[in-house]
Amino acid sequence: MAKILVTGGTGYIGSHTVVELHNAGYEVVIVDNLSNSHIKILTQLHAITGKWFDFQEIDLQEEKAVQDFADANPDVTGIIHFAASKAVGESVEKPLKYYKNNFYGLINLLTAFNRKLNFVFSSSCTVYGQPDSLPVTEAAPVKKAESPYGNTKQIAEEILAETAAVTPDLNIIALRYFNPVGAHETALIGELPNGVPANLVPFITQSAIGKRGPITVYGDDYETPDGSAIRDYIHVVDLAKAHVAAIKRLEEGKSELNYDVFNIGTGTGSSVLEIIAAFEKSTGETLDYKIGPRRAGDIVQIYGDVTKSNQELGWKAALDLNEMMRSAWEWEKYIKANPF
């Protein structure tokens, strides 16, 4: 089977994707600079799969290190590129860190692996902004990004499309994720937020375990059924499996285009208050929350049209909100008892 490079493979989505690639029979090599993850994830991956994965601590911003890796690994036929900085709020405070990290890494990879290559890219539904109509399809216009982070995803998609247009041997799929949540069923890997979580579900689990105070619902006066904002939450394991489907499609040469984009979500929207209720129902825990003002930059609602992914990738989300909340909670309890 093909040897796949997973950049950012000790990170949240990357680590779950390493498990699913292994389960699908792929050989995996991980590159990560551990700037937002922990080396112990390799031990956790071994506990889940029985395999010690080939890991190299490399900063993708270092052009020579990336080239040396590419030259030393001629058998890498595919790359799944997760490695990037991803905190929206931080990107507003430190735009140059985001433009440097997210573009140098991508460009160094594309330059170093200047050979026949299959490439799956981590994009985001954030490129849509507030869609004009819902569910949002891949044909929807990309709107002006609300943050430097979102801008890095939009521009990265342009870099990939324009490079693919003049590089017939480079076959690319960009996956536009909606909101990844949850953790592996073993509770041995999950999200490791740095500092106070900005995202809803990790804040919920940290509040429930007593690590944070009450949850603030950022606005209940939106034009939605219960007034709180709506998102398309997808289980991280379903998301990981979408990457296997994407790399398989490229490996099998099934893509008529050498640059294509797919929405990866459930196609269903859930409000903040519905997520809170789902967590309480799934875990039996009672959450302490209050209604606060809207958060700057938030859109009202978004959920994906996933017809293209279902039909062309042969992928469909299978895990429901209950499993998303249950697994997120089990992981939070695990990491409290077994801090890295």
How far is CA 173 from each of CA 135, 183, 206, 254, rounded to the nearest angstrom? 21, 24, 34, 12
Q: Is the dihedral of CA 260, 320, 273, 135 positive or negative?
A: positive
8 Å CB contact between 38 and 340: yes
Nearer to ligand NAD, 105 or 219 (CB): 105
Task: Report what 190 binds from ligand NAD, ligand WQD, none; CB cut-off 5-8 Å by kind.
Answer: none
Nearer to ligand NAD, 183 or 210 (CB): 183
8 Å CB contact between 309 and 138: no
Q: Which stretch binds ligand NAD (CB under 6 A): 83-91, 165-173, 294-302, 331-339?
A: 83-91
- Based on the shown chain and the rule CB under 6 A, indicate whether residue 220 belongs to the binding site for ligand WQD: no
8 Å CB contact between 20 and 89: no
Interface map 238-277 toward ligand WQD (x if CB under 6 A): ----------------------------------x-----
Helices then strands, counting H and E runs in the chain, come out as 11, 13
Answer for which of 24, 218, 310, 320 binds ligand WQD (CB under 6 A) is 218
8 Å CB contact between 38 and 11: no
Answer for which of 231, 235, 241, 249 binds ligand WQD (CB under 6 A) is 231
- C-alpha 219/C-alpha 291 separation (Å) is 6
Catalytic residues: 149
- Based on the shown chain and the rule CB under 6 A, indicate whether residue 193 belongs to the binding site for ligand WQD: no
Instruction: Locate the DSSP E strands across 53-116.
Output: 54-57, 76-81
Q: Which stretch binds ligand WQD (CB under 6 A): 95-103, 209-217, 249-257, 307-315?
A: 209-217
- Based on the shown chain and the rule CB under 6 A, indicate whether residue 229 belongs to the binding site for ligand WQD: yes
8 Å CB contact between 155 and 99: no
Answer for which of 98, 113, 119, 177 binds ligand NAD (CB under 6 A) is 177
Helix (H, G, I), strand (E, B) or coil at 29: strand
Residue numbers at the binding site for ligand NAD (CB under 6 A)? 8, 10-14, 32-37, 59-61, 82-86, 101, 105, 122, 124, 177, 179-180
Residue numbers at the binding site for ligand WQD (CB under 6 A)? 86, 88, 124, 126, 179, 198-200, 203, 215-218, 229, 231, 272, 295, 298
